[in-house]
C-alpha cells in the first residue's frame, strides 16, 4: 500500500504514549459513562414470547425428503398459526425443500434438531418482488426468509437453514450485478417512486437470506445458517431485535454474517461467524436516496461473539448514510488467519452520514491480519468524487489483547486534512511486535494509551 505523504507514521514501541496523564482520566470517565448506558439499552431489548401452540408443517403437506416442494405447506402453517393468535410452526427432523418463507406476526418458525430447511435454487421461487434495499430502496426478489411490517416474529431451534446458493445461479450473478446496482442507485438519486423500482426477473440482484423489514420484536436464535446467496442475517428498519446463539458459515461473495441495517435496539450475543465478507457489519443505507438514509442504526450491543474468517469482525459501515451511533462490543474473540481486520470502520464520500459513539472493550484478537482498521477511503462507488463527506469520531477501544497480527496493529485514514477521523481512544490494549509501523493520516486527537505493565 502506498502511504500518503501527509501520513503520520506511529510506532507504539517507539512512541509508547501519545496523551498526557490528565487526558487518560478524561478518556476513562467518558468510556465509563458510555458503557453505563448499556444496561438501560438491554432492558428495552426483550425477545418476543409466543403462545404454547404448535403447528407441525407435516400436517400441512410438508414432506422431509429433500425433494418435495414444501413452499405451500410452510405458508399454510404460518397462516394458520397467525390466525390462531400465534405459536410455533415446527419443522421436525428431515430435509424440507422450499421457496421463500414469509413470516407473519406472532409466529416462531422452530427448526428442530436434525431438521434442515433447504431453500430452492430456482430464482422464480422468490417472486413476486418485495420491498428491500440494495444500493437504494428497491423492489427485488424476496429474501429466503422475509417479513414486512410484522410484530413478534422468530426463527429459532437447533436445526439448519441451508440457502444452497453455491448449487444454483446466484454465484454467476456476481459479475452481472454492476449495471443493476448502478440503476438502483440512479433511481434513488432521482427519487423514483419505490413502486417503479422493479428488479427481480431479468435482473441480477441476489436476495439476502433472513431479512425482516420494518418489524418490531424480532428473535433469531440457535439455528445454523449456511450457504447464503448474499448477506445472511439482515434486519432492516427494525426495532427490538435479538440474535442469540446463531452459527453462520457462509463463504460466498458478499456473505456478510449479520447486518443490522437502520435498526434500533439490537442485541447480538454468543454467535459464531465465518463468512465470505464482514462477520457483523452495522449499516444504515448509502448515498442520496432520501427514503431511508435518515434512519440511523443505534443502540447496537454485541456480546460474547466469535469471529473467524471474514473481511471484518466487528465492522461499522460501509453503508453509513443514516448514521451509526451507540454501538457497543465486548467480550468477543477474533481468531483466524483469514480474518482481514478484527475491528473495521469503513466509509467514503459517496456514502455520507456518520460513525460515532462506538465502544469496544475486553476483546481477544488471537489471530488476524489487521487489528484496528479505520478508513474514509473505502474503495467503492464514487469514493473519489462523492460529495457526501461522512463524519467519523468518538471511538473508544480499550482493554483488548492482540496476539498475532500478520499485517498491522493500527491503521487510521481520514479523507483529507479538512475531513478527518477524530477523537479516537485506544487504551490499555496489548499489541504484538510488528515490522510494519502503524499509520495515522488525516486524523486528529488520536489518543493511544499503552497498557500498564
Average the pLDDT over 314-336 and give the result: 97
Using pLDDT thresholds of 50, 70 and 90, give the confidence band for residue 287. Answer: confident
Average the pLDDT over 441-447 and give the result: 96
Please count the CA atoms within 13 angstroms of the CA of 422 that sit on its side-chain side: 9
Per-residue pLDDT, 386: 79
Per-residue pLDDT, 435: 76
Nine cell digits for residue 216: 418490531
pLDDT at 425 over 80: yes
Q: Which residues contact 271 (CB under 8 A, 6 or more apart)?
A: 243, 244, 245, 246, 247, 248, 257, 258, 305, 306
Per-residue pLDDT, 87: 98
pLDDT at 450 over 90: no
pLDDT at 171 over 50: yes
Neighbouring-strand partners of residue 339 = 310
**Are 429 and 451 a contacting pair, CB within 8 Å?**
yes
Average the pLDDT over 361-382 and give the result: 91
Between CA 298 and CA 310, with CA 304 as vertex, the angle to 5 degrees is 80
The string over 27-59, giving b where at least 16 C-beta atoms fall within 10 Å of a residue's C-beta and e elsewhere, is bbeebeebeeebeebbeebebbebeeeebbbbe
pLDDT at 393 over 90: yes
Per-residue pLDDT, 16: 33
Summarize pLDDT for 180-226 with one digit per residue, the tens: 999 999 999 899 999 999 999 999 999 999 999 999 999 999 999 99
3-state DSSP assignment of residue 157: strand
Average the pLDDT over 139-149 and give the result: 98
Summarize pLDDT for 328-349 with one digit per residue, the tens: 999 999 999 999 999 999 999 9
Per-residue pLDDT, 286: 87
Summarize pLDDT for 71-129 with one digit per residue, the tens: 999 999 999 999 999 999 999 999 999 999 999 999 999 999 999 999 999 999 999 99
Nine cell digits for residue 382: 464514487
Per-residue pLDDT, 294: 79
pTM, 2 dp: 0.94
Which of 295, 303, 433, 287 minimizes the C-alpha distance to 348? 287
**Are 321 and 284 a contacting pair, CB within 8 Å?**
yes
Using pLDDT thresholds of 50, 70 and 90, give the confidence band for residue 381. Answer: low
In residues, how long is the chain? Answer: 453
Using pLDDT thresholds of 50, 70 and 90, give the confidence band for residue 159. Answer: very high
Q: What percent of the chain has pLDDT over 70?
A: 92
Site of grid cell 463524519: 391
pLDDT at 4 over 90: no
- Average pLDDT over the chain reads 92
Per-residue pLDDT, 379: 80
Between CA 208 and CA 211, with CA 209 as vertex, the angle to 5 degrees is 75
Summarize pLDDT for 45-63 with one digit per residue, the tens: 999 999 999 999 999 999 9
Per-residue pLDDT, 320: 95
Nine cell digits for residue 422: 477524530
Neighbouring-strand partners of residue 118 = 97, 162
Question: CA 158 to CA 243: how far, in whole Å?
Answer: 14
Per-residue pLDDT, 12: 36
Average the pLDDT over 292-298 and give the result: 85
Assign residue 217 a region (left: φ > 0; alpha: ψ between -120 and 50; beta: otherwise).
left
Instruction: Tell me 332's DSSP state.
Output: -
Average the pLDDT over 419-433 and give the result: 96
pLDDT at 8 over 50: no
Amino acid at each position: 500500500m502506498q502511504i500518503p505523504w501527509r501520513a503520520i507514521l506511529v510506532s507504539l514501541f517507539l512512541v509508547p504514549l501519545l496523551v498526557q496523564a490528565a487526558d487518560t482520566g478524561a478518556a476513562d470517565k467518558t468510556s465509563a459513562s458510555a458503557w453505563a448506558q448499556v444496561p438501560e439499552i438491554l432492558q428495552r431489548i426483550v425477545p418476543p414470547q409466543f403462545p404454547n401452540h404448535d403447528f407441525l408443517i407435516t400436517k400441512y403437506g410438508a414432506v422431509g425428503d429433500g425433494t418435495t416442494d414444501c413452499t405451500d405447506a410452510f405458508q399454510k402453517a404460518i397462516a394458520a398459526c397467525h390466525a390462531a393468535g400465534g405459536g410455533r410452526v415446527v419443522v421436525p427432523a428431515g430435509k424440507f425443500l422450499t421457496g421463500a418463507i414469509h413470516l407473519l406476526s406472532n409466529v416462531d418458525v422452530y427448526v428442530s434438531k436434525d431438521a434442515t430447511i433447504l431453500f430452492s435454487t430456482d430464482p422464480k421461487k422468490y417472486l413476486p418482488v418485495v420491498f428491500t434495499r440494495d444500493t437504494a430502496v428497491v423492489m427485488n426478489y424476496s429474501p429466503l426468509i422475509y417479513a414486512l411490517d410484522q410484530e413478534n416474529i422468530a426463527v429459532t431451534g437447533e436445526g439448519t437453514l441451508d440457502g444452497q446458493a453455491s448449487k444454483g445461479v446466484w454465484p454467476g450473478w456476481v459479475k452481472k450485478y454492476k449495471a443493476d446496482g448502478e440503476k438502483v442507485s440512479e433511481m434513488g438519486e432521482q427519487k423514483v417512486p419505490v413502486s417503479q423500482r422493479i428488479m427481480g426477473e431479468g435482473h441480477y440482484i441476489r436476495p439476502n437470506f433472513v431479512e425482516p423489514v420494518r418489524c418490531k420484536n424480532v428473535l433469531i436464535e440457535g439455528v445454523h445458517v449456511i450457504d447464503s446467496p448474499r448477506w445472511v442475517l439482515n434486519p432492516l428498519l427494525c426495532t427490538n431485535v435479538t440474535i442469540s446463539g446463531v452459527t453462520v458459515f457462509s463463504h460466498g461473495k458478499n456473505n456478510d454474517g449479520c447486518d443490522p441495517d437502520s435498526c434500533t435496539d439490537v442485541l447480538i450475543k454468543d454467535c459464531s461467524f465465518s463468512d465470505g465478507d464482514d462477520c457483523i457489519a452495522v449499516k444504515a443505507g448509502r448515498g442520496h436516496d432520501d427514503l431511508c438514509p435518515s434512519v440511523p442504526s443505534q443502540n447496537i450491543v454485541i456480546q460474547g461473539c466469535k469471529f473467524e474468517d471474514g473481511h471484518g469482525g466487528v465492522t461499522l459501515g460501509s453503508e453509513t448514510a443514516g448514521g451509526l451511533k451507540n454501538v457497543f462490543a465486548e467480550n468477543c474473540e477474533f481468531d483466524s488467519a483469514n480474518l482481514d481486520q478484527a475491528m473495521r470502520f469503513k466509509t467514503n464520500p459517496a456514502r455520507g452520514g456518520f460513525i460515532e459513539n462506538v465502544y469496544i472493550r475486553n476483546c481477544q484478537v488471537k489471530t488476524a491480519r489487521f487489528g484496528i482498521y479505520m478508513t474514509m477511503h473505502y474503495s467503492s462507488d464514487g469514493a473519489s468524487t462523492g460529495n457526501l463527506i461522512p463524519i467519523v469520531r468518538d471511538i473508544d477501544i480499550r482493554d483488548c489483547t492482540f496476539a498475532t497480527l500478520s499485517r498491522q496493529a493500527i491503521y487510521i485514514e481520514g479523507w483529507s486534512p479538512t475531513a478527518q477521523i477524530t477523537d479516537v481512544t485506544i487504551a490499555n490494549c496489548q499489541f504484538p511486535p510488528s515490522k510494519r509501523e502503524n499509520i495515522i493520516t488525516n486524523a486528529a486527537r488520536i489518543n493511544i494509551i499503552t497498557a500498564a505493565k
